[in-house]
Amino acid sequence: MDTQELLQQYDGDMYLRISHEDGDKAESDSIANQRDLITAFLEKHPEITLRKVWVDDGYTGVNFDRPDFIRMMESVRNKKTNCIIVKDFSRLGRNFIETGKYIEKIFPFMGVRFISVNDDYDSAKPRTASDNLIVPVKNLMNDAYCRDISIKIRSHQDIKRRKGQFIAPFAMFGYLKDPEDKHHLIIDEFAAGVVQDMFHLILEGYSSEAIADRLNEQGIPSPLEYKRLLGSTYKTPFRRNPKAVWTATAVLRILKNPVYIGTLEQGKRSSPNYKVKKQFAVPEEQWAVKENTHEPAVSRDTFENVAKILRTDTRTAPGEETVFPLGGLLYCADCGRSMVRKNNSTADKPYYYYICSGSKEKSGCKSHSIRDILLEQAVFAAVREHIRSVLDVEQILTAIAKLPYTSRQIKKMDERLKAKRDEVEKYQLYRMKLHEDYMDGIISREDYIAFGKRYDLKAQNAGEAILSLEQEIDRLVEGKSEEQKWIAYFKQYQDIEELNRKLAVELIDRILVFENQRINIKFKFQFEYDSAMSLIQSVERINPALTVSSGREAV
């Protein structure tokens, strides 16, 4: 263009942009600086009348999917704008190919004068050979800078994930970001209470659909609506209605999320590179998983019991909100397949019964049929008997801890512990003397290395023995060891009057049904129970007054 064209009057639009990495305020200082720079430029160019200021605050320059940029280009197409001014090329974009396309093809084709103030670029001025080289080089540098920043950000975020720092923009339902540390989660009392209720309802036999309906009836805001109530700007493409409601999918998503036991699972999704927005699922072995990063909302046992329920087929009967108390716990003793519940509606008095799911197949298993009422009665009786047995075990273990026998054990272990500590000290002294002999030239390097390895190994073995003895002494001194906490799970049900879903899931691992209607119940914490019984039987040989009845099979 010549001088006359430069004096042409232009309707100019100012375009300002900054990415999230530069700040997330309503209009950051960088935006203000861009505005001031361009305003000062316009004061020296009276031929340009400022028509509109467009601001994309918090949008990446890697692509052009930005709300105000799209609106600005719409005004260009409508002939409202014929001049665009930016601070520098990187404000227009950091994608080398796309940015170059706008500067070299789209703007000239649409008759738009494009100005980049800091780059001293004005498309209305005559182009020189150096301009033809400098513009692509600067765009390429902006692209390379963006790629470098992207790599650094990814690396930095991965380090934070591995450390157990929360890096997502919004906390999960039930938690808030700690005001003192945005990478740490704290309990949201209201939402966490809702989460706890959901876990308890599942344990009581409610389906995820029934829980969602119940929450909606009670007017409990869904996770999305709760974010809005807290003032969040969270958006999702999955929203279908003006007001988001609870669904079975939302309930299941919460029940399966280990964040509620204090575990962070991050890095589940990623994108190929900084230019591609489409994400893909990351293999589970590559996730960043860190336990005990924040306060749990539910206990680990509750979470695992619910997880077991969700892994089994526990569909509710038509018209029912809850499942049968033993649903998902019954298995055929012969083929190992699950037992399915059937309804005999042809009898004078309709009833439910269970049969092996493999009995209908050719060359399949036998039916192993058993009435649900008889089954429930037998299981209830066996559970009560097992709870009584566990309570007896607790009393006897407490008595054992007070026996002189236990005191003698502790005394012997103390003596062994002292001997092992002396052994560690001895080999440490040997190691020091060995080093002195080597420095004085008394022994060769080969002997120094060989004897050093031998002394280190002996000291290490003694150290491991010390750790084992200390743990065993702690167990005996406490009387109730960590391993005996399992008793509390049975003790809470000592006054039960009927079988219910929560009790069955928390105490029973599985129930095997035999063809003759005999059942065998595999209780939770079976290893701990058997270990306690073994200890008691050993002590009984010393003190026959200590006895406990056992028997965990019902007919």
The verdict on residue 461 lying in a domain is no
CATH number of the domain within which 152 lies: 3.40.50.1390
142 compared with 537, residue with greater pLDDT:
537
- The CA distance from 525 to 487, in Å, is 9
Q: Are 350 and 366 in contact (CB under 8 A)?
A: no
> What number is the average pLDDT over the span 130-148?
60
Identify whether residues 146 and 208 lie together within a single domain. Answer: no
**Of 249, 277, 311, which closes a domain?**
311
The pLDDT mean for the chain works out to 81
Q: Are 230 and 144 in contact (CB under 8 A)?
A: no
Across the strands, what pairs with 343? 352
Length of the chain: 555
Identify whether residues 130 and 217 lie together within a single domain. Answer: no
Identify whether residues 135 and 208 lie together within a single domain. Answer: no
Question: pLDDT of 498-555, one tens digit each?
Answer: 888 888 888 999 999 998 889 999 998 888 888 778 777 766 665 666 555 443 443 3
Identify whether residues 116 and 192 lie together within a single domain. Answer: no
Residue 447 is predicted with a pLDDT of: 87
> What number is the average pLDDT over the span 195-223?
91
Identify whether residues 33 and 95 lie together within a single domain. Answer: yes
- The CA distance from 61 to 285, in Å, is 32
pTM for the full predicted model: 0.55
* Residue 241 pLDDT > 60: no
| Strands in 297-428 per DSSP E | 330-332, 339-344, 351-356, 370-371
**Of 311, 344, 365, which closes a domain?**
311
* Residue 1 pLDDT > 50: no
Question: pLDDT of 101-122, one tens digit each?
Answer: 898 889 998 999 999 988 888 9
Residue 139 is predicted with a pLDDT of: 57
The verdict on residue 248 lying in a domain is yes
Identify whether residues 146 and 265 lie together within a single domain. Answer: no
Residue 28 is predicted with a pLDDT of: 46
Q: Worst-scoring range by mean pLDDT, 206-210, 319-323, 443-447?
A: 319-323
Q: Are 183 and 239 in contact (CB under 8 A)?
A: no
> What number is the average pLDDT over the span 288-315?
86
The verdict on residue 316 lying in a domain is no
The count of structural domains within the chain is 2
Identify whether residues 39 and 144 lie together within a single domain. Answer: yes
Q: Worst-scoring range by mean pLDDT, 40-54, 232-246, 293-307?
A: 232-246
The verdict on residue 132 lying in a domain is yes
Task: Quote the domain boundaries for residue 122.
Answer: 3-157
**Pairing status of strand 83-86 against strand 121-122:** unpaired
CATH number of the domain within which 247 lies: 3.90.1750
Residue 345 has, within 13 A of its CA and on its CB side, a CA count of 3
How far, CA to CA in Å, does 111 sit from each of 83, 93, 302, 319, 545? Answer: 8, 20, 67, 68, 103
Identify whether residues 228 and 266 lie together within a single domain. Answer: yes
Across the strands, what pairs with 18? 57
> What number is the average pLDDT over the span 242-254?
87
The verdict on residue 410 lying in a domain is no
* Residue 160 pLDDT > 60: yes
**Of 311, 343, 378, which closes a domain?**
311
